[in-house]
């Protein structure tokens, strides 16, 4: 873990060599989801609610998924841009170092400009929380925290799956965007506004539902049945990364036997 | 004119080589389309008011948007041109015996055309045969369809003219980031790509109707579904033409003046 | 120290398809051709040796290095390096080796060199004290002092290569694999890099295996060369012997007063001839150089004579021809 911070530090130093572009890109990252959020706001202004959810509840959904997304884009960027590591042949370098490939790939790149997006979603989060009549308790705060981390785990897991694909082919990788960008876009709204099959897919296969929809029911006091179950869903969702790590290791093994 | 045609041909051939990327793009756009439709569907379902655009018109609007994404995205950019400008290698381009504005315009146009040619028909084809209510509908009559094609193509020409200003601005700022940001975020929003313009609050609609962006996307898509009446569409075509000529003229003027500065500075 | 026995490796190469129909087919099924990259490679290297590993492009040099550094798993054969099998226990094994890929950088591009070294220290878990000693030695022998605080992107290629090599020695490995360490360097930098490789070999007893296309590297550094072609081991031995065996040719260039008679001498062949100038190749196994000069002086009015022994490049080219690789 301390090595991870060392990687973080050296790449932060590198980034600071290009300050102007860093600030411009960060500002861009602030405004891009901003326009999406503005669109969302205007829709609520016209329609009032979406299937029983009001604006601030959905804003909370939006904030949580965007925070998770920006954090994972910042800290798991190494997997997101893994194809360049393969194309340049730098993955060989990773293999001749006495550390796990997972740690080294994570440490190979960070995208600090996502601070802009994080800030934007942070503001939305605070705004939403201030306007929602939530009875706060320690457990709810912890749940909120786990919601964001589980989102990070899920996005990272998807990046890893796409990265593993690079061991076979670097073409058509954009498909992964369906689940990262697409997943983010979809999870801006509570999952139950979608058709059943969509909701099921994103609960049981790629568990975005566990990032915001299910635990939000608990936080907002909308649950029917066992509260504990809803509270724990983010933890269950985090487990998504385990099979991804397994698949990744399978990919590394394949790479070492074929060298492709 | 022959030069421009050959640029176009070359671009299409290059674009063809990225088939798998195109396929992945199609898949992504489908997913995107579905998600947007479902969101609007959910909003419409329990709405107490009658929205200014029907769900069916909206769905058609969304599929057209997905199919012709390459025609309407301001983000879509040519890094080669940015590099040319920022590195100063533009001097070489000046040696070419063609009008540079036209040359770049053709290049950008060709990129968008080649990208769209690969993507639009699979999306539209599938969108027509989707189960209700997700399917796209045919335009109400042939005249509307013809009007749609005209407005879409004029919209494309207009968008490329707008995007030329992006490159022109980089001559001054020397970094594409800021301009891309402003053009991208504002342009897309006011083109009706985030939410369709009829669903915006009235005060925002007023702004959107004054700016040129909506004529590239919102206008042709609503002409298709008949949401904009034929007579209004015909007037719109003239407004599109007016904008196009105006922006081309302005663009050329601005382009020549920034080029002059390059020459004075010695590249 | 290093022992390879019967290492084989083959790759499946997908046939590139053109055309839309082929591409669609390729989504489901791809035709492959098997390329045998290494066939039964066996050699061993003793501690403290510097061995040059040579062969034309695509001969299998990089594949061998990749197998020896634990990146690739071979199809068959044994490899034991310092008691480890490289592709098993990767993490434990790679602590003992340093690898330089000449065409790629392992330094962080935008930060001062010293920062990269510090990070490598942490990656390899080098104790502080040991790190300081090693670093001082490296800075001294590689003359890195002035460039330690410059970002890598500002360094010249030669400076960068010196830093690259230093970077792969931070953890005091006992074996160093150098894959084309002098590629793209100018003459002065090449000499500096060679000098350094020699120094660390002599002072720290590091075993070095280097691949290169520059035969001067080999001549300056390696007593022993291993030649590989099309995946097979072709020669393994002293460089002098290689020259003796295959390089028994000398080139003689002569200028003389105008003479239109031919200068055919048995045991030589004419490379170039004009009425005033000729270049001959001498097979020293058939005729002595002195005899050739004597015969020449009888045939023409000599003005100037230069004799060159065959450079190792030619020996290698000749070898490639001989083995048809």
DSSP code of residue C84 = B
Q: Taking 60 as the threshold, does the pLDDT of residue C28 lie above it?
A: no
Could you say which DSSP state residue C310 is in? P
CA distance C167 to C16: 38
Find residues 142-161 of chain C whose CB sits inside 8 Å of chain A. Answer: 151
**Average per-residue pLDDT for chain C:** 85
Mean pLDDT of the region C266-272: 83
The token duo for A55 is: 């604006």
What CATH class is the domain C46-243? Answer: alpha beta
Its ipTM equals 0.90
Q: Which residues of C touch A6 (CB under 8 A)?
A: 118-119, 122
Sort out which chain C residues have CB atoms less than 8 A from A105's CB and list them.
none
Are C4 and C43 in contact by the 8 Å Cβ rule? The answer is: yes
d(CA B177, CA A116): 14
Does B177 contact A at CB distance below 8 Å?
yes
DSSP collapsed to 3 states, B190-202: HCCCCCCHHHCCH
Listed residue (C196, C111, C178, C94) closest to C149, CA to CA: C111
Residue A18 pLDDT class (50, 70, 90 cuts): confident
**Looking at beta carbons, which residues of chain A come within 8 Å of C116?**
10
For residue A225, is pLDDT > 50? yes
Does the pLDDT of residue C317 top 50, yes or no?
A: yes
Please give the pLDDT value at position B195: 93
Beta bridge partners of C44: C3
| Nearest to B180, CA basis, from B75, B69, B107, B251 | B75
Task: Band the pLDDT of C302: cuts 50, 70, 90.
Answer: confident
Residues of A whose CB is below 8 A from B32: 182, 185
Residue identified by tokens 């080796």 is: C97
Average pLDDT of the residues of chain A = 91
- How close does chain A come to B216, measured CA to CA in Å? 19
Name the closest residue on chain A to residue B192, using Cα atoms.
Answer: A39
Residues of A in contact with B23 (CB under 8 A): 172
Chain A within 8 Å of B130 (Cβ-Cβ)? no
Chain A residues near residue C91 by CB distance under 8 angstroms = 98-100
Q: B128-185: per-residue pLDDT in tens?
A: 998 888 889 899 899 999 999 999 999 999 999 999 998 888 888 777 777 888 888 8
Q: How far is A70 from A121, CA to CA, in rounded Å?
A: 9
pTM of the model: 0.86
Within an 8 Å CB–CB cutoff, is residue A225 touching chain C? no
Please report, for chain C, the start and end positions of each structural domain, with discontinuous segments joined by +: 46-243, 248-309
Give tens-digit pLDDT for C45-94: 999 999 999 888 878 888 999 999 999 999 999 999 999 999 998 999 99
* Residue B5 in this model has a pLDDT that exceeds 90: no
Query: Taking a C-beta distance cutoff of 8 angstroms, is the pair A199, A186 a contact?
Result: no
Which residue, A103, A90, A251, A59, is CA-closest to A165?
A: A251
Are residues A92 and A260 in contact, defined by beta-carbon separation less than 8 angstroms?
A: no
- Give the start-to-end residue ranges of the domains of chain A: 2-258
Task: Tell me which architecture the domain covering C248-309 has in CATH.
Answer: 2-Layer Sandwich (3.30)
- Residue owning tokens 């999952």: A191
In chain A, % of residues over pLDDT 70: 99
Q: Are B93 and B45 within 8 A, CB to CB?
A: no
Q: What angle do CA C146, C150, C154 make, to 5 degrees?
A: 115
C307 vs C312, residue with greater confidence: C307
Distance separating alpha carbons of residues A177 and A156, to the nearest angstrom: 13
Element spanning A222, H or E? none
Q: Which of B20, B34, B188 sits opposite A35 (nearest CB)?
A: B188
Confidence of residue B267 (pLDDT cuts 50, 70, 90): very low
Give mean pLDDT, residues B99-113: 87
Q: Which residue has the higher pLDDT, B176 or C233?
A: C233
- Does C12 reach chain A within 8 Å, measured CB to CB? yes
Give percent of chain B above pLDDT 70: 94
- H or E segment at C11? strand C2-14
**Domain limits, chain B:** 2-265
What b-and-e string marks burial along A181-208, b requiring 16 or more CB atoms within 10 Å of the CB? ebbbbbbbbbbebbeeebbebbbeebbb
Interface touch B21/A193, C-beta < 8 Å: no
Identify which has the larger pLDDT, B197 or C320.
B197
Q: Which residue has the tokens 């796990």?
A: A100
Looking at residue B36, what is its pLDDT? 93
For the segment C85-136, what is each residue's pLDDT rounded down to a tens digit? Answer: 999 989 999 999 999 988 888 899 889 999 999 999 999 999 999 999 999 9
More confident of the two residues C200 and B9: C200
CA distances from B248 to A33, B164, C136 (A): 31, 9, 64
- Tell whether A186 is within 8 A of chain B (Cβ): yes
DSSP-assigned letters across all residues of C101-117: ETTS--S-TTSBHHHHH
With an 8 Å Cβ cutoff, are C110 and A6 in contact? no
Chains linked to B by 3 or more Cβ pairs within 8 Å: A
**Beta carbon pairs, A and C, within 8 Å:** 75
Q: How many CB atoms lie within 10 A of CB B224?
A: 27
Which positions 14-53 of B are in contact with A (Cβ < 8 Å)?
A: 20-21, 23-25, 27-28, 31-32, 34-35, 38-39, 42-49, 51
Q: Residue A153: how many CB atoms within 10 A of its CB?
A: 26
CB of C26 within 8 Å of any CB in chain A? no
Highest mean pLDDT among A210-224, B144-158, C200-214: B144-158
CB contact under 8 A, C72 and A2: no
pLDDT tier, C30 (very low <50, low <70, confident <90, very high otherwise): low
């Amino acid at each position: 873990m301390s090595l991870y911070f060392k990687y973080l530090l050296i790449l932060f130093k590198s980034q600071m060599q290009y300050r102007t572009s860093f600030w411009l890109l960060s500002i861009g990252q602030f405004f891009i989801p901003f326009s999406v959020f503005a669109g969302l706001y205007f829709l609520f202004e016209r329609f009032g609610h979406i299937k029983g959810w009001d604006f601030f509840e959905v804003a909370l959904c939006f904030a949580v998924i965007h925070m998770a997304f920006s954090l994972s884009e910042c800290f798991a960027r190494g997997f997101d841009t893994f194809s360049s590591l393969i194309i340049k042949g730098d993955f060989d370098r990773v293999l001749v170092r006495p550390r796990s490939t997972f740690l080294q790939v994570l440490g190979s790149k960070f995208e600090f400009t996502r601070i802009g997006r994080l800030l934007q979603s942070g503001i939305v989060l605070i705004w939403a929380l201030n306007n929602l009549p939530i009875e706060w308790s320690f457990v709810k705060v912890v749940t909120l925290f786990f919601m964001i981390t589980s989102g990070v785990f899920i996005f990272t897991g998807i990046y890893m799956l796409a990265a593993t694909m690079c061991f076979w082919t670097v073409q058509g990788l954009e498909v992964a965007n369906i689940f990262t960008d697409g997943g983010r876009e979809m999870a801006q709204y509570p999952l139950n506004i979608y058709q059943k099959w969509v909701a099921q897919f994103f609960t049981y296969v790629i568990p975005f539902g566990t990032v915001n929809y299910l635990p939000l029911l608990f936080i907002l006091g909308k649950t029917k049945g066992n509260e504990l179950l809803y509270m724990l869903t983010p933890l269950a969702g985090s487990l998504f990364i385990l099979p991804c790590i397994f698949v990744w290791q399978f990919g590394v093994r394949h790479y070492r036997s074929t060298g492709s | 004119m022959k030069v421009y045609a050959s640029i176009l041909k070359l671009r299409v051939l290059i674009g063809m080589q990225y088939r798998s990327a195109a396929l992945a793009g199609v898949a992504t756009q489908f997913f995107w389309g579905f998600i947007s439709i479902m969101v609007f569907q959910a909003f419409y379902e329990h709405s107490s008011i009658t929205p200014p655009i029907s769900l069916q018109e909206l769905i058609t609007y969304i599929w057209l948007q997905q199919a012709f994404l390459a025609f309407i995205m301001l983000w879509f950019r040519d890094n080669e041109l940015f590099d040319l400008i920022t590195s100063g290698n533009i001097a070489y381009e000046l040696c070419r015996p063609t009008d540079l504005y036209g040359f770049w315009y053709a290049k950008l146009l060709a990129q968008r055309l080649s990208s769209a040619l690969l993507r639009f028909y699979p999306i539209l084809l599938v969108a027509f045969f989707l189960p209700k209510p997700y399917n796209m509908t045919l335009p109400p009559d042939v005249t509307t369809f013809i009007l749609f094609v005209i407005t879409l193509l004029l919209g494309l020409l207009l968008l490329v003219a707008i995007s030329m200003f992006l490159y022109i601005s980089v001559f001054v700022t020397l970094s594409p980031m800021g301009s891309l940001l402003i053009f991208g975020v504002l342009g897309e929003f006011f083109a009706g790509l985030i939410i369709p313009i009829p669903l915006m609050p009235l005060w925002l609609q007023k702004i959107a109707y004054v700016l040129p962006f909506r004529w590239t996307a919102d206008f042709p898509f609503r002409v298709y579904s008949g949401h904009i009446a034929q007579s209004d569409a015909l007037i719109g075509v003239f407004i599109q033409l007016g904008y196009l000529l105006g922006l081309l003229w302005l663009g050329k003027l601005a382009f020549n003046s920034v080029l002059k500065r390059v020459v004075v500075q010695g590249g | 120290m290093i022992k390879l026995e019967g290492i084989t490796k083959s790759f499946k190469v997908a046939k590139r398809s053109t055309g839309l129909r082929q591409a669609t087919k390729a989504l489901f099924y791809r035709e492959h051709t098997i390329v045998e990259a290494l066939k039964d490679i066996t050699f061993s290297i003793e501690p403290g040796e510097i061995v040059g590993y040579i062969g034309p492009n695509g001969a299998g040099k990089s594949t061998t290095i990749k197998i020896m550094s634990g990146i690739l798993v071979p199809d068959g054969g044994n490899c034991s390096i310092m008691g480890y099998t490289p592709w098993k226990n990767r993490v434990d094994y790679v602590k003992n080796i340093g690898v330089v890929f000449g065409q790629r950088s392992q330094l962080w591009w935008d930060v001062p060199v010293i920062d990269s070294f510090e990070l490598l220290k942490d990656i390899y878990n080098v104790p502080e004290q040991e790190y300081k000693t090693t670093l001082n030695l490296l800075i001294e022998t590689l003359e890195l002092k002035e460039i330690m605080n410059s970002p890598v992107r500002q360094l010249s290629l030669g400076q960068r290569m010196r830093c690259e090599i230093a970077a792969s020695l931070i953890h005091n490995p006992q074996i160093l694999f150098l894959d084309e360490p002098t590629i793209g360097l100018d003459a002065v930098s090449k000499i500096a890099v060679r000098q350094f490789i020699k120094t660390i070999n002599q002072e720290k007893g590091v075993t070095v295996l280097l691949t290169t296309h520059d035969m001067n590297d080999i001549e300056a550094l390696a007593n022993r060369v291993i030649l590989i072609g099309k995946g097979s081991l072709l020669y393994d031995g002293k460089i002098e012997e290689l020259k003796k065996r295959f390089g028994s040719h000398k080139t003689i260039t002569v200028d003389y007063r105008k003479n239109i008679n031919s200068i055919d001498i048995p045991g030589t062949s004419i490379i170039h001839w004009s009425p005033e100038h000729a270049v001959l190749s001498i097979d020293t196994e058939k005729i002595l150089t002195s005899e050739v000069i004597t015969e020449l002086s009888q045939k023409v009015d000599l003005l100037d004579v230069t004799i060159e022994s065959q450079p190792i490049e030619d020996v290698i080219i000749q070898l490639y021809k001989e083995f048809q690789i």
